[in-house]
């Protein structure tokens, strides 16, 4: 994925969702991410990475389970967690990293 680095190195925080199409819990994330996106508008970017199509990116960040969520700020991961996370929790976590 050639422009992954370009996306996460921007000034806008990026929430990255590492997922797989075969993963049941991953299928619960789209409405959660939609809610997060509608809350933050353009203050946060959301990027979904299919681990089966982008194994090198997933390996670079040692993604061992999906879904795995990362927040990147200025190109560096500042937070990560695996599993389904409710939108209100993600909003609180992102708010901490916006300042």
- On whether residue 43 sits in a domain, the answer given is yes
* Domain assignment present for 22: yes
CATH number at residue 32: 3.40.30.10
Q: Quote the number of domains for the chain.
A: 1
**Catalytic residue numbers, as ranges:** 23, 26
Q: What is the pLDDT of residue 50?
A: 97
Predicted confidence band of residue 2 (pLDDT cuts 50, 70, 90): very low
* Furthest C-alpha separation in the chain: 36
CB atoms within 10 A of CB 86: 11
Q: In terms of C-beta density within 10 A (0-12 exposed, 13-18 middle, 19 or more buried), how is residue 43 classed? A: exposed
Determine the pLDDT at residue 6: 86
Rounded Cα gap, residues 11 and 93, in angstroms: 17
73-97 residue pLDDT tens: 999 999 999 999 999 999 999 999 8
pLDDT surpassing 60 at residue 1: no
Does any domain span residue 3? Answer: no
pLDDT of 21: 96
pLDDT digits (tens, 9 = 90+) for 14-52: 999 999 999 999 999 999 999 999 999 999 999 999 999
């Amino acid at each position: 994925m050639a422009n992954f680095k370009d996306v996460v190195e921007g000034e806008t925080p990026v929430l990255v969702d590492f997922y797989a199409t075969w993963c049941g819990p991953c299928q619960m994330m789209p409405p959660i991410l939609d809610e997060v996106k509608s809350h933050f508008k353009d203050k946060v970017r959301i990027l979904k990475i299919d681990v089966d199509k982008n194994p090198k990116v997933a390996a670079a960040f040692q993604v061992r389970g999906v879904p795995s969520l990362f927040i990147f700020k200025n190109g560096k991961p500042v937070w990560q967690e695996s599993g389904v996370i409710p939108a209100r929790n993600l909003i609180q976590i992102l708010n901490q990293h916006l300042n």
